[in-house]
Structure 1
Amino acid sequence: MHPETHLQLHTIRSAELRRQAADFRLAHPRAGTDNHSPRTGLRTRLGLTMVELGLRLLPDGSAAPTRTARTA
């Protein structure tokens, strides 16, 4: 696959994931306000925090370095 095509696909997928994460945060407010056990709330908060951190680590508009297969 051409590098520019790969970069474009990665950019589109990154935007989709960011949009899904934002929609999820709007649909499911932070745990602790519902009747779930405290442990479930902690798991949910930790999971959402890890997703947010991962999304922040993704550079805007650029792809992560990719490995290319070497031909002999």
Structure 2
Amino acid sequence: MHSNIHLLLHHQRAAELAARTSAAAALPRKHHLRVQLGWLLVELGLRLAEQAPRRQARLA
């Protein structure tokens, strides 16, 4: 990918994230906490799902 295109895409994505952040800051405090808790539970679930399966003990 051409470096100028990469830089342009980076700036566009940064602008999108900044817009989302300002929109989230405008949410009522109660709703904001609910969203944070929801994402925390999603992250926890994904971490639990990513754990390696337990190995069975081997008998000698």
- Shorter chain as normaliser: what TM range? 0.3 to 0.5
* Superposition TM-score, scaled by structure 1 size: 0.40
* Superposition TM-score, scaled by structure 2 size: 0.47
The structure that is helix-richer by fraction is 2
Asked which structure has the greater CA Rg, the reply is 2
